[in-house]
Structure 1
Amino acid sequence: METIIGLSLLVFALSLFSIFSLKAPMGKEAMGALAGTAIATFLVEAVHNYISGDLFGIGFLQEVGVSAGSLSGTIAAILVPIKMGVNPIFAVVSGAALLEIGIIPGFVAGYLVGLIAPKLEEKLPSGVSTIIGALVLAPFSRLVAVVTVPVVDATLLNIGDMIVIASEQSPIIMGFFLGGIIKVICSSPLSSMALTAMLGLQGLAMGIASIASFSGAFANGILFKRLKFGDNSNVVAVMLEPLTQAHIITTHPIPIYLTNFLGGGFGGLIAVYFGIVSNAPGTASPIPGMLAPFAFNAPVSVISALVLAVGGGLLGGYIGSTVYLLATRRVSLKPKIN
């Protein structure tokens, strides 16, 4: 039952994010900024606080990591309005007011500032617009974030908690399906980093998402190579960041999403086998997914998981591409009826 609920809530959350991304004003830009926030805060925190700091004992870099992780809400409230085209001063003002605020309330505050700041700037006299705008937007941003905190705790983070519980109670099933879904999202217009950051995934669930993102990169690589989707530069690009090849992905969604699901699912199973955990939400992308687990697991376990994840991704890519090639060949050989 926990597995069914966890997967159902994940699909529900995906539906909400899809609607927001596609229908909300500048929704794609806002979600892209949220993914950037996850890299600037959670990834830096994971690598420098736990690896450079705890593992190698470099105090200065540990301070860097702690600082980055504590400013997730502030950075979200700055990057989102900037990505939406707002005056950078207003964006910084909205973030500066969010001391000790988490990433999701910061995202909501930044998004609303991104919507109203341009209109506010139009209404104010040009000589004083910056001063008055700053004085108005700072408390507005803080108010929105503070009001959002209990709502977020009761909804998105609760969904994330259910997914975490389901992953722990039914690790094999969730490993495959969660890993597969996360990798499909990684290659879709949605952002897997933004999704896992919003849900606050941690523990085994985030470990599955991280290894699946890495594994799926190799599934994409072999698929692009076998089906001749572009040249070698396209193969490398889709492995590093799938969204750079959105023009190809949107043209061939069926083989790409099928292959990503298989490659990510195999990677998720590998993460479960080695018990890979991660407490750096928002790092579900090939490179962050490769690095972040080192902060929370024995290096030997992570390296073993990554090596096998390469094999799992290649296997998923080979199966997905073979199925597509056989299906298209069968269709092309089917006799036409006049």
Structure 2
Amino acid sequence: MEMLKGMALLLLALSCFSAFSLKAPNGQKAMSGLANAAVATFLVEALHKFISGNMLGFAFLGNVGNIVGGLGGVASGSLVMLALGINPVFAIAAGLALSGMGILEGFIVGYALSFLVPVIEKYLPEGVDVIVGVLVLAPLGRFIAEAVSPVVTITLNQLGEMILNASNQSPILMGLLLGGLIKVICTSPLSSMALTAILGLTGLPMGIACVACFGGCFANGITFYRLKLGSKSKAISMMLEPLTQADIVTANPVPIFASSFTGGALAGLSAAYFKIVADAPGTASPIPGLLTPFAFNPATNVVLAMVFAMIGGIIGGYLISTIFVSIKAKKESVNMIQA
């Protein structure tokens, strides 16, 4: 029951973000800003705080990662407004007022204030609009963030705890389901880094997400190659960062998402079996997913988990691509007979 509740709530959260991205005004641009904020903050935190600092002993880099990791709200508020075409002065002023706030609060503030800025620019003289704008947007943004923060915190904490409890009670099954789902999100225009950062995933669920994103990338590469969805360079780019090939993904969603889920599920199974944990939210992407677990687990366990995750990704990609290669061959045969 815990597992069903956790997956149901995760799917609900994913559905909300998907609906926002597709239906809200400039939803995709705003989500792009959120994804960029996750990269700018949590990726730096994961690699420099946990790897360069805690693991390798570079105190300066560790301090940098620690500082940057606490600025998710600032980055999110500013980058969402910039993605929506807002004057950089307004975006930075509003973002700086969000120090100490979470990445989702920053996203809400950035999106909400993007509707107010055009009104200020329309009705105030040039020059005056900048002065009034920064003096109004900074406190207003902070007020909105503090108003929504309690609800956001309670909701996300409950969701994160439920997923963690489900993972602890049924690690193997959760590895399959969560691994597959996170890799699909990683491949879609939504950002798995942003989602895991928003949810604050830690422990085994975050470990599953990291390993799934790494192992599942091999499924994507094989699918691209065997279905001839692009050049070899595009297949490599898809493996390293799926968002770079969003146009191909949206044009071929069924085979790509099917291979992503299968490869990610098998990779997640590997993470669950080797009990890979990660306490760095927002690192669900192929490269960070490969490196981050080394900061929290014995190196031997991580290497074994990654090797089996890679094998799982390859198997998943080969199986799914074989199905679609066969379907494509049958269609071509039928077309030749009809011709």
- CA contact under 8 A between 1:176 and 1:264: conserved in structure 2? yes
| Distance in structure 2 (CA, Å) of the matches to 1:302 and 1:225 | 28
Residue 16 in 1 paired to residue 21 in 2? no
Aligned ranges 1:148-167 → 2 under 5 Å: 148-167=148-167
1:296 aligns to what?
296
* Cα distance in 1 for residues equivalent to 2:8 and 2:124: 47
Question: What runs of 5+ residues in structure 2 fail to find an aligned partner?
Answer: none
Q: Which residue of 2 aligns with 1:306?
A: 306
Equivalences, count: 337
- Counterpart CA distance in 2 for 1:262 and 1:223 is 12
The DSSP-based 3-state class of the residue aligned with 1:250 is helix
Query: Which SS does the other structure have where 1:284 is aligned?
Result: coil
Larger mean CA deviation between 92-101 and 326-335 belongs to 326-335
Partner of 1:319: 319
Following superposition, the deviation at residue 330 of structure 1 comes to 4.5
Q: Does structure 2 retain, via aligned residues, the 8 Å contact 1:91–1:113?
A: no
Give RMSD over aligned pairs: 1.7
Matched, 1:66 2:71: no
Deviations 1:122-146 (A, max 9, x none): 2221121111100000001100110
Matches within 5 A, 1:108-187: 108-187=108-187
Task: State the alpha-carbon separation in 2 of the partners of residues 115 and 282 from structure 1.
Answer: 28
- Give the superposition deviation at 1:299: 2.3
Shift of 1:118: 2.3
* CA shift in 2, pair 1:295/1:117, >3 Å: farther
Q: Measure the CA separation in 2 of the matches of 1:295 and 1:41.
A: 18
TM-score by length of 2: 0.94
CA distance in 1, matches of 2:225, 2:306: 21
C-alpha separation in 1, matches of 2:115 and 2:165: 36
Q: Which moved more, 1:308-317 or 1:53-62?
A: 53-62
C-alpha separation in 1, matches of 2:168 and 2:334: 47
Q: Runs in 1 of length 4+ with deviation above 3 angstroms?
A: 327-337
CA distance 1:145–1:259, change in 2 (3 Å): same
Matched, 1:258 2:280: no
Compute the displacement of 1:329 (Å): 3.8
Q: Which moved more, 1:193-202 or 1:78-87?
A: 193-202
Deviation of the 1:221 alpha carbon: 0.6
Compared with structure 1, are the counterparts of its residues 157 and 28 closer, same or farther at alpha carbon in structure 2 (3 Å cutoff)?
farther
Cα contact 1:43–1:292 (8 A) shared by 2: no
**Which segment is superposed worse, 325-334 or 94-103?**
325-334
**Residue deviations 1:51-96, cap 9 Å, x none?**
2222222211111011011111111111111111111111111111
Aligned-pair distance for 1:298? 2.1
1:45 matched residue in structure 2: 45
Q: Which deviates further from its counterpart, 13-22 or 190-199?
A: 190-199
Q: What percentage of residue pairs aligned between the two structures are identical?
A: 53
Query: Structure 1 residue 331: deviation in Å?
Result: 5.2
The SS at the match of 1:155 is helix
Amino acid at match of 1:228: K
Deviation of 1:334 after TM superposition, in Å, equals 6.5
Specify the alignment match of 2:242 in structure 1.
242
State the match for 1:101 in structure 2: 101
TM-score (norm 1): 0.95
**AA aligned opposite 2:75:** I
8 Å CA contact 2:46–2:288 kept in 1: the answer is no
Q: Structure 1, residues 231-281: CA drift from partner, whole Å, max 9, x if none?
A: 111111111122222222222221111111100001101111111111222
Matched AA of 1:81: M
In 1, are the aligned partners of 2:208 and 2:276 still within 8 Å (CA)? yes
Q: Which runs of no fewer than 5 residues in structure 1 stay unpaired?
A: none
Residues 226, 325 of structure 2: 8 Å contact kept? no
Residue type of the alignment partner of 2:213: S
Structure 1 residues 58 and 246, CA gap change in structure 2 (3 angstroms): closer
Q: Which residue of 2 aligns with 1:268?
A: 268
- Of the structure 1 ranges 194-203 and 5-14, higher mean CA displacement relative to structure 2 is found in 194-203
User: Against the structure 1 CA distance between its residues 68 and 203, is the aligned structure 2 distance closer, same or farther, given a 3 Å change threshold?
Assistant: same
Query: After superposition, what is the alpha-carbon deviation per residue over 1:16-73, rounded to whole angstroms, capped at 9, x for unaligned?
Result: 0111111112111111121221222122112212222222222111110110111111
